Structure 1
Amino acid sequence: MGKALIVSDSHGLKDELIMLKKRYEGQVDLMIHCGDSELSTNAGELSGFVTVKGNMDYLGDDLPNESIELLEQTCIYITHGHLYDVKMSYLSLGYRAEETGAKIACFGHSHVAEAFEREGMIFINPGSIRLPRGSFEKTYAILEIEEDVVSVSFYSLEGIRIDSLCKTFVKEKNNKNKKV
C-alpha cells in the first residue's frame, strides 16, 4: 500500500507544516505541497515535500509549475491549478494530467477540499490549512493506494477525520475509476 500526505495553500504557515511532517513521519511514502506555501524554495518547512509553485509563491519563484510522482505504480500529476483555471473548470487540468500519463491529479488554488472522478481521472484538492473555502475546516488530505482501490481521506488541521469529504474509488478493468 502507498500513502501520501497532501497539503496546499498554507500561505506562510511554518509551524503547521512542521507539525504535519512530524505527525506523518514514517507513515507516508510521499508528501505533496500543491503550492502557495509563500516560503522560499529552500525553506526547512518544505524539506521532504514535493512542492510546486503557486500564484502567490514569489519567494519560491524557482519552484516547478508541475511535478509527476509515482505511488504504488500509479502516476500522480501535481500542480497548483491557477495555470489551468481550476476555479472555472477542471477540463484543462484533466487534459494536462492525462498527457503526463497520470491517473490522479493533485491541485490547490481554490482552497476547497474535494475529491472526485471524471473520465477515469481522480482529482484531489486538499483544501487549505490556512484559509479554507467551502467549509470552515482547515484541511489536508491523505491519499492511500492499495491494488485497485484509491482512498482519499480529509482531516482538520487538528487531525480529526472529516467523514463527509472522504471518498473511495475502485479502478475498473477498463482503467476507469468507479466511486464507492
Structure 2
Amino acid sequence: MKIGVISDTHGDRRSIERAVARVGTTDFWLHAGDHGQDSRSLVELTGLPVVSVTGNCDGRTEAKPDEFLEFEGYRIWLTHGHRNHVREGHADLLFWARKYEVQAVIYGHTHIPEVHWEQDLLIFNPGSASRPRGGFPASCGLLIVSSQIITPQLIEL
C-alpha cells in the first residue's frame, strides 16, 4: 500500500498539485495539519480517501487534533505536533506513541522534513509543501506499507 503524506500546505493549492504529481499513484493520503482543509483539494485532485488533522493555524475545522489509523497491521498516529512540543524534540511524541502503542508517528508543524527511527518506532515529518524552513526545499512524503515493513520516503517538490 502506498500512502502520500503532506503537511503545512497553508492554503497553497499549487503545492498540493506538485505533491500529487511527484508522489504518483497512491492508495491513500494523509495531511498532518496547517490547512488540513486543504485535504479537500487532495480529494478533488486524486479521488482518494484523505485523513487530515488540525494544526495550530487551522482555526475552526471539523478535523480532529489526532487520528489513529491502521494500514497492513501498522498502527499510525497522525498529529500536527504543536501540542507535543515538537520544536523542542521528540520526548513527548515518544511518550505518547508508546502509550498509544503505534508503530509510526506522522507529524508536521516544524516545516522541516525528518525520518527518524527510535528502535522500532518511525517518527516521520514530510516537511512543508509550501513554506519550507531550515534551508530545506518544499517536500512531502510517501509511506510504502506491507505486512512486513513500513518504508518512508521524503520527496522534494
Q: In which range does the TM-score fall when normalised by the shorter chain? A: 0.7 to 0.9
Aligned match of 1:139 = 139
Equivalence map 1:25-174=2 (5 Å) = 27-37=25-35, 39=37, 44-47=40-43, 48-58=49-59, 60-157=60-157
SS in structure 1 at match of 2:97: helix
SS at match of 1:122: strand
- Of structures 1 and 2, the one scoring higher in RCO (CA 8 A, sep 6+) is 2
SS in 2 for 1:87: helix
Higher helix share: 2
After TM superposition, the score normalised by the length of structure 2 is 0.85
Could you say if the C-alpha distance between residues 101 and 38 of structure 1 is closer, same or farther in structure 2, counting changes exceeding 3 Å? Answer: closer
**1:120, 1:100 → 2: CA distance?**
14
Query: What SS is found at the alignment partner of 1:148?
Result: coil
Which secondary structure state, in structure 1, belongs to the residue aligned with residue 145 of structure 2?
Answer: strand
Report the count of equivalent residues: 152
Q: Is the 8 A contact 1:113 1:134 kept in 2?
A: no
Cα deviations across residues 153-176 of structure 1 (Å, max 9, x unaligned)?
11112xxxxxxxxxxxxxxxxxxx
The percent of aligned pairs where both chains have the same amino acid is 26
Preserved contact between residue 34 and residue 58 of structure 2 (Cα < 8 Å) = yes
Residue equivalent to 1:14: 13
Paired residue for 2:46?
none
1:46 Cα shift?
A: 4.4
Moved more, 14-23 or 118-127: 14-23
CA distance 1:17–1:120, change in 2 (3 Å): same
| CA RMSD, 1 decimal | 2.1
Matched with 1:168 is: none
How far is 1:114 from its partner?
0.7
Deviation at 1:100, TM superposition (A): 2.2
Tell me the CA shift for residue 24 of structure 1: 5.2
Gap runs ≥5 in structure 2: 44-48
Aligned residue identity for 1:143 = L
The structure-2 alpha-carbon separation of the partners of 1:28 and 1:91, relative to structure 1 and needing over 3 Å to count, comes to same
Report the residue type matching 2:6 in the other structure.
V
Unaligned runs of 5+ in 1: 158-180
Determine helix, strand or coil for the equivalent of 1:75. Answer: strand
